[in-house]
A and B are shown apart, each in its own frame.
Chain A
Amino acid sequence: DGGITQSPKYLFRKEGQNVTLSCEQNLNHDAMYWYRQDPGQGLRLIYYSQIVNDFQKGDIAEGYSVSREKKESFPLTVTSAQKNPTAFYLCASSGRGSDGELFFGEGSRLTVL
């Protein structure tokens, strides 16, 4: 079945460590997105990529980095520069002609100890 796979589902890290969240899609979608979700704040856009080897900052990109070397993959690195990294992270994708409809993965919960 086509879909978006995020891993790991739960992740713990110590302060000062970088961590990379994986996002893979087999929907043949061109665009991919990373959102951060905090209680009471909805979803906020971190980074997005509309084609391979290109990506743009979203509203809260500071302390995060991404790469888009393959169409299927859009990993997110949470760096030690991110001051409050504990959150639920959602990856999404959209295809041409989808008029903005996003398809979401099941999320990764990062906890910084």
Chain B
Amino acid sequence: AQSVTQPDIHITVSEGASLELRCNYSYGATPYLFWYVQSPGQGLQLLLKYFSGDTLVQGIKGFEAEFKRSQSSFNLRKPSVHWSDAAEYFCAVGGPGGGNKLTFGTGTQLKVEL
């Protein structure tokens, strides 16, 4: 069965500092990997996705993620965090064998200190 682990429940960073959110997955074949962001009381917005090819993926709002098959990881990074990045971030895994069903991690709540 597919699964996603986000080991950090909460992370606090200072504005302008770099950010890395961790994501580890379990999937039986080549995974499709996603990062979504959610503001309070809102739906989820896609930040970026990985299907194949270049393992470093660029997304919106200056985010990027790197797929590392050997570590079963897909960590999200941003070089310089802005106060507006405060939100909850979800990693998700799926694949062609899963019929478009995504499995989500439990999320990481990001707080940005000014």
Contacts and interface: CB of A to CB of B under 8 A. Distances in A.
B101 A90 contact: no
A105 interface: yes
Contacts of B49: 99, 101
B101 A48 contact: yes
Chain A: interface residue count, which band?
Answer: 20 to 34
A102 B102 contact: yes
Nearest to B31: A100
Nearest to A93: B100
B41 A50 contact: no
Nearest to B105: A42
Contact of B106 (A41, A98, A99, A100): A41
A100 B98 contact: yes
Nearest to B93: A100
Nearest to B98: A100
Interface string B78-93: 0000000000001000
Contacts of B95: 100
B63 interface: no
Interface of A: 4, 31, 33, 35, 40-45, 48, 50, 58, 88, 90, 92, 94, 98-107, 109
Quick one: which of A31, A35, A99 has the most chain B CB within 10 A?
A99
Given A31-B100, A94-B100, A106 B9 contact: no
Given A42-B106, A100-B94, A101-B34, A109 B41 contact: yes
Contacts of A58: 101
Nearest to A109: B41
B100 A42 contact: no
Quick one: which of B42, B43, B103 has the most chain A CB within 10 A?
B43
Quick one: which of A42, A48, A90 has the most chain B CB within 10 A?
A42
